[in-house]
Structure 1
């Protein structure tokens, strides 16, 4: 048996413009250099889509034949475990006490209240005025925890200065400025937090652990126990400088493979306005030669002026990441181990989409594009299309029709070859369900589809009912609210109420005069006066019980009997009574503040008393709820939080954990994939469809917090929603192999007035109009754009014969037919 080849440590960076080629090389490399038995492959990814796509390739017969022994993780989580393996699990806790989650409880419980009296904290004191239920204080603590967590990753130098007593900010250009006015409370809060958790916990924070880890890796002569021999980083579009520094340190003993999606085969780091920010000695790709010259390179000012427009406008995040990689990359060390370390290949030149992708690959300026490509004939070239509709519903209806046409034209096209991305999948989910879910599987118009990235809150009936129950102190107990709860099967089952009994119950409630309010005392708690028992649930229940007992007799003790209760249906009164008693009991408990431990008992009791899962899905939801509750209680225990908390704080802490991203979310399920535009969701598909590309909706606006000091000091590697969305659109454009479909609400549904698309779509359309011409003359964008009528039954959809008949139905329609 041949000896197993040994892995050579080092940092290896593979660039490519097609993810499928990078994936093929990654699988081939794992086959050529397999790990030892019972040794896991470590894969670092940024989204569940990339993870599943990579696993599918490993499981194929041409791959490794099976996808097993894989540790798929997010970079930050993996890095913390690496810290613990190298520095010792006794010295480094399982979770940093200053990470988001634990840190949002510690300052809230012990630090903030004591600091508000100080002059530096006047801005926070004004914000926290009138905060009886402590909701604002906990929300502020959560935002601060997230902000300081970002500081630990991206601005560790700031935190070190603040801990040393220097109220200053080091800038990206090597300078510094003093903090003044309304921002001085941040260094003071950081020092107070460190004093509260102690010097030991400061050393256990990311900002404290990372330099110790890098220094320790530099001192070791052999690989520390627990450090994986190979680390594969696949398809991540951006990493913080801190993570890259750690990976470079681990590369002394581990083989660190980074597969980088690079849209351009030339050096493109200078095609920005602020050239000084990114000027460096580039050691990988060469600058592109000057057009028309046999020898010679663009000068930096020429690169700035003649770069590819879309790459310059949308590629800032990718440029910064590649330039950060270049600080650690030494391709001469490993180039001989590969046939190619730059896997760049052109797209087909027979379509407008392929020509555009090749322009980006070859860094073609506008003038060169005009002279390179022929005129576009939309009748033959369907690779790039724009669609304008009047509403999100019409967008999805148009998409359904267009997909049916595509499947009819191309027998090789399958639903799994299509991905549909939207800025917010939760906003489009009802429309998608209404349009794609209206046909049965045996209907020729049926298109299988899956919805990814949906949050559980607002989607799952059981979660919606639970959230309503956790708002009982604010509820008016209207008939419609309680009946909505009874629409949830798990809740009905707990109280032995069947679905066919609901019409009877509705009739009884209407006849007994139940309108709102549990009883007079519950109404009084809402500030609505005393002794208002009329038309409450208790009032109606007494009428129904008395009517069952005495029939149509006279009033007794001021209660008028409701005599419609009788026969076998009367058994329904018992479950309704138990439901109201249970609601009343939990209402009294939820009103009172309690410690986290007491809240844990109360919330488990709410789940157990109101829900009885009846299927696997409800069992999974119950498990997720209990896991989220246990995780929150563990954080409270780690932060030694024993303060009495109010219901709004606990409710958001518990249910907010349900929608956090997970690598286990379903994706690539063999149907048309609907999902949110997310980082590295740009897996290659034959058709890429973008919906909802409206002005104001994309790029998504996420204004930074007023006190986020990183907003005014951008550094390469920083995460930015604005730059994220620009680079996402570039990745989506490059991921389409056959067709790119873009639609937006371009007409008002009220007055048909024009509405602009996203500014990024506008840039794309402007570039196309400037660089290409329409065959036969005319407006290119007009030939690539379809404006759809308001209604799907509009005569505009019919042929000329049908339109003629439709317009003349009042006279002679039969003759025309």
Structure 2
């Protein structure tokens, strides 16, 4: 029977059923009945039961819109079914309903928890698995106690979940168990494990709970049905809207209510026909129910389906089928189907699928793709598309383009507004961190795609919740330096301890220099089964910092030495801890004390009331909110209520349990990671939410992400304890059936577009991944009616997206399904209005325009010039363009103490030992001190323990190798220890008109050459040996050579202005070579200068000044033009040029030339100068490889050759074949 409205004959009682495949079509009969079923008391509200909180909000909005500008929709009490039943129980059962809250899971689990603590006192509770699982507490092993405490709570929570489910779906089992019938669920011939679970665990434990807690919901609903059915007076009408499932007991309650009042049920039904065994014949219906029960028993825990006139209904519709069967098997006064479900001509793919289900005609899916016109239409049809992507981020990027496409006006269809769109996912939490990266911040009404988030965990609503969760994790954390600095960066922590950004920067510097790694002290390290050493812990670092603060006014020698404490311990004070920021040191100490207090809670066991008080104290001691921030105030109130919920939950069942901290942490994390019940839905704009049963609200565009195999339908685990999962009945509800029916409801709720997305290809190797089972079934059904093979890749309804959003296929127009609304990507491919994007650093040489002049005689720091030649890409990008990669670089904060049997090269320990320690004892034999100096031994430079001893031995050997090389060199043959000094320079270079350079700086260390009275000097440079011994001179690249040459040349020019005779100036590089050619050339050139006459000396000095001017001009030029110079790679290029000086020789040494590209980047090892951290070289050069054929290789070779010739001095007795002109 198809009618628009209910019969008004007798609206006072009976069960009315209104069905429609479109939810909005049910609003008409609801509004009509609301108008004719006013309660006797005009002030009493009309009761409407909504299927879900989200549907309640939608229904309220829709009724208000229907009332129009002149009407009003008010005095409606829209509630959930559980709330309505509780109210009925309070009204009709009065004091008998008091115990109902005790059986809610969050309260019931504490009663179960208490019973599990006294297993021996619960008669019949004899399951041997309980004793094995819960174990016995240990007086020694705190880790075991924590694990057992968590197990007990987890088991109590799981059992409470089962019992609350049985209260709704198996009240007959519970009644039987209460009466001592332990074999009520599992038959005598049933599975032995299930029998033991029922008789030795579930039944006796339930008897104990029922005896302690009183009457439960199952008893209340049964008694309430009896009271309502026998009521003498009429009951007010009640309306149930959007309900697609009701447990048998609640349906029976509604039937009883319908005997004394009107019950109107407005149910979304996907099919207008009798489907899946549903018919108007009571005999056929009973036979179907019996057959279905046999099928369920035979399937066990497996999925099953029976053809129901439509394959998709058979696979997705079982839950709805059982519900409508249950409705049909009873007294229904009227069953009304909305006329909008009459046959209609489908206009697109989405409507074809919907109409085929609505009319129970799979043939409506048929499409002839062999017809070119039809195939083109199908390809352009965006009403139903299935998108296969590589990552969740790509799913969101594809979705963004699809939403923008739907909002674009077209002649054949109106644009879809943002408020008419919803985006769902089975696991929306997996997408929450990525949504803002693609769509911007939520709640921005000015955005192109405004949106809001629903079904978001409490912890994501304010950073304060995340901070609290981090504090709860401190007892199990290593307490590393980055973790502490992250805590200090939290606004609430900073306000509590008065630490601002400047203080954090200073503390960051101090902690980095202190070399603290992790652990509060040795005892905290011992918790992780490692030696309880204090080195590299915060206690050790704080001792160094405080000693440095106390000794800030001491002499330099005292500050750099060691301090011996009264207990015999030694420590090395840390320099530089002074000034106003030293107050931050006290704040850091207080923070560490609070962290210690949190860590001390980790092994504690206390009662719930004590935990609430302790955590409240710890929160106030660690955090202080900004009271002017309303969001922070609200978050603090929620956080405080969450903590005090530790008392409220067990208090309902009269418990104050003793809880281990691990259980408390799990409880609080559960509450903060849960979705709040009062979270708003449909706030305007696009709604991002989870997939929730019975919340299938109609939208013009519905998008579903994450329909991946293994993730949907979702699965649950009961640990083998759930009898209901193995002994199923008709009308039962389970997660997998819920999800399949939810997919069906989602498909039927889309009005114009349905966007389905899944991860269809592995991002690493391109392996094909399967979609979720319901999505695969939809694809298969569409393929079958288009006569496509399973492996046919031409299906128009499925789109396989490229890995990258800037792929050319999005812009070439070859596939209408691939498009992009990103103008920047379009410009990369020559599309759009703008020009193509240029590389970050253009490879083309700039026009030879004059360089900007430096300020006349402005001092040029020598350190700046040396910085460029040591790390050119970093200097140009960071110093000149202010582009820094500090966030990618190592922060300097350590998380691990040194563990290898060597010191870190970056610390230059060998060089410091050589210059500061070993040379001071010259000219003794081998340098063999008994122990390492204090600055090495007490500062954390050496690894602790045996590894430190071996590292110290290696350093001694390395220093002795340098000493041995020094003894072989001229100039250090005296008996006195050489003394290092420095030389300040201020040199004017005028050999590059019109630009003059005034270079200022300091050259150090500088040693006297031979007898100190001669005035001669040496630049001694030591290069720590590797495992293969001292380095050869040829191994020194431009990073080492250019600074040495520049320092020597400037010092030579500075000393040449003095009186004659000129002092000798040598360069001594401690290398393996007996007669190193490069430094030999410098020495011979200098010897020739010393004996040259005035004219020759002037020529030689002018030539040297020209070389320096060339180096300075390149430094200047690099800041305005691209110079392809990288120290290591350029040195390889220079070596190749030296070995093959002519084009003919270079052509014959192609293989040797490959060493240049390998020095830059070795693709097999992933190493090379390009990969140096933090990435300046790669950013500067991009993807250039400097291989044969690249123009940049020629430029690199050209500059390398010029640089090599510039710093290589010719033999003054021979003609200079490589004369350098300024």
CA contact (8 A) 2:19 2:266 kept: yes
Deviation by residue 1:260-317 (Cα, 9 ceiling, x = unmatched): 0101111113289xx99964599xxxxxxxxxxxxxxxxxxxx975701111111001
CA drift at 1:515: 1.7
SS of 1:693's equivalent?
coil
Deviation by residue 1:636-682 (Cα, 9 ceiling, x = unmatched): 22333344210111222233134445442122121111111111232
Q: Pairwise mapping of residues 82-121 of structure 1 onto structure 2 (< 5 A)? A: 82-88=88-94, 90-93=95-98, 95-111=100-116, 113-115=118-120, 120-121=126-127
Distance 1:113 1:119, change over 3 A: closer
Query: 2:717 & 2:248 partners in 1: Cα distance?
Result: 24
Distance 1:119 1:350, change over 3 A: closer
Question: Equivalent residue for 1:628?
Answer: 642
Question: Equivalent residue for 2:227?
Answer: 216
CA contact (8 A) 1:167 1:184 kept: no
Question: Equivalent residue for 1:536?
Answer: 537
Distance 1:482 1:73, change over 3 A: farther
CA drift at 1:510: 0.9
Question: Equivalent residue for 1:477?
Answer: 479
CA contact (8 A) 2:385 2:756 kept: yes
Query: 1:355 & 1:497 partners in 2: Cα distance?
Result: 64
- 1:418 and 2:413 are equivalent in the alignment: no
TM-score where L is the length of structure 1: 0.85
Question: Equivalent residue for 2:1098?
Answer: none
CA contact (8 A) 1:162 1:187 kept: no
Q: Pairwise mapping of residues 147-296 of structure 1 onto structure 2 (< 5 A)? A: 147-170=162-185, 180-181=192-193, 183-193=195-205, 196-197=208-209, 199=211, 201-202=213-214, 204-222=215-233, 229-270=236-277, 279=286
Question: Equivalent residue for 1:693?
Answer: 707
For residue 429 of structure 1, the aligned residue among 432, 439, 442 is: 432
Question: Equivalent residue for 2:605?
Answer: 593
CA contact (8 A) 2:367 2:786 kept: no
Question: Equivalent residue for 1:286?
Answer: none
CA contact (8 A) 2:444 2:451 kept: no
- Tell me how large the CA RMSD over aligned residues is: 3.7
CA drift at 1:490: 2.5
CA drift at 1:467: 1.7
Question: Equivalent residue for 1:551?
Answer: 552
Query: 2:548 & 2:382 partners in 1: Cα distance?
Result: 72
CA drift at 1:158: 1.3
Question: Equivalent residue for 1:127?
Answer: 133
Query: 1:147 & 1:349 partners in 2: Cα distance?
Result: 45
CA drift at 1:163: 2.2
CA contact (8 A) 1:547 1:563 kept: yes
CA drift at 1:67: 5.6
Gaps of 5+ in 2: 1-8, 137-143, 290-304, 815-827, 844-1222
CA contact (8 A) 1:747 1:755 kept: yes
Query: 1:505 & 1:528 partners in 2: Cα distance?
Result: 27
Distance 1:499 1:246, change over 3 A: farther
Q: Pairwise mapping of residues 640-719 of structure 1 onto structure 2 (< 5 A)? A: 640-719=654-733
> Which has the higher mean CA deviation after the structures are superposed, 65-74 or 98-107?
65-74
- 1:792 and 2:808 are equivalent in the alignment: no
- 1:139 and 2:154 are equivalent in the alignment: yes
CA contact (8 A) 2:450 2:685 kept: yes
Question: Equivalent residue for 2:17?
Answer: 13
Query: 2:509 & 2:11 partners in 1: Cα distance?
Result: 75
CA drift at 1:593: 0.6
Query: 1:466 & 1:276 partners in 2: Cα distance?
Result: 61
SS of 1:91's equivalent?
helix
Query: 1:458 & 1:412 partners in 2: Cα distance?
Result: 33
CA contact (8 A) 1:48 1:665 kept: no
CA contact (8 A) 2:237 2:262 kept: yes
CA contact (8 A) 1:683 1:735 kept: yes
User: Rg: which structure is higher?
Assistant: 2
Deviation by residue 1:158-194 (Cα, 9 ceiling, x = unmatched): 12222222232458xxx88567446424344455445
Deviation by residue 1:217-250 (Cα, 9 ceiling, x = unmatched): 2332125xxx7x2333221221111111122222
CA contact (8 A) 1:324 1:716 kept: no
Question: Equivalent residue for 2:1046?
Answer: none
- 1:512 and 2:530 are equivalent in the alignment: no
Distance 1:177 1:387, change over 3 A: same
CA drift at 1:722: 1.1
Question: Equivalent residue for 1:30?
Answer: 34
> Which has the higher mean CA deviation after the structures are superposed, 589-598 or 654-663?
654-663
Question: Equivalent residue for 1:722?
Answer: 736
CA contact (8 A) 2:14 2:332 kept: no
CA contact (8 A) 2:173 2:185 kept: yes
Distance 1:449 1:276, change over 3 A: farther
Query: 1:154 & 1:499 partners in 2: Cα distance?
Result: 58
Deviation by residue 1:124-167 (Cα, 9 ceiling, x = unmatched): 22222375221101110110011011111111111222222223
Query: 2:418 & 2:719 partners in 1: Cα distance?
Result: 41
CA contact (8 A) 2:125 2:200 kept: no
Query: 1:67 & 1:574 partners in 2: Cα distance?
Result: 62
CA drift at 1:346: 5.4
CA contact (8 A) 2:457 2:675 kept: no
Question: Equivalent residue for 2:55?
Answer: 50
Question: Equivalent residue for 1:639?
Answer: 653
CA contact (8 A) 1:378 1:783 kept: yes
Distance 1:744 1:486, change over 3 A: same
CA drift at 1:610: 2.3
SS of 2:479's equivalent?
coil
Distance 1:508 1:761, change over 3 A: same
Query: 1:483 & 1:736 partners in 2: Cα distance?
Result: 49
SS of 1:544's equivalent?
helix
For residue 344 of structure 1, the aligned residue among 341, 351, 354 is: 341
For residue 581 of structure 1, the aligned residue among 583, 593, 615 is: 593
CA contact (8 A) 1:169 1:176 kept: no
Deviation by residue 1:67-86 (Cα, 9 ceiling, x = unmatched): 65444433224323322221
Query: 1:153 & 1:210 partners in 2: Cα distance?
Result: 9
For residue 783 of structure 1, the aligned residue among 796, 803, 811 is: 796
CA contact (8 A) 1:22 1:343 kept: no
Query: 2:612 & 2:285 partners in 1: Cα distance?
Result: 51
CA drift at 1:743: 1.7
SS of 2:637's equivalent?
helix
Question: Equivalent residue for 2:1047?
Answer: none
SS of 2:266's equivalent?
strand
Query: 1:586 & 1:24 partners in 2: Cα distance?
Result: 59
Answer 1 or 2: higher relative contact order, Cα 8 Å, separation at least 6: 1
Question: Equivalent residue for 1:81?
Answer: 87
Query: 1:372 & 1:733 partners in 2: Cα distance?
Result: 23
> Which has the higher mean CA deviation after the structures are superposed, 657-666 or 796-805?
796-805
Distance 1:41 1:185, change over 3 A: same
> Which has the higher mean CA deviation after the structures are superposed, 62-71 or 400-409?
62-71
Number of equivalent positions = 767
Query: 2:534 & 2:306 partners in 1: Cα distance?
Result: 76
Query: 1:453 & 1:277 partners in 2: Cα distance?
Result: 42
For residue 758 of structure 1, the aligned residue among 772, 781, 784 is: 772
Question: Equivalent residue for 2:1198?
Answer: none
SS of 2:617's equivalent?
helix
SS of 1:793's equivalent?
coil
Query: 2:276 & 2:308 partners in 1: Cα distance?
Result: 13
Distance 1:344 1:499, change over 3 A: farther
Query: 1:546 & 1:65 partners in 2: Cα distance?
Result: 78
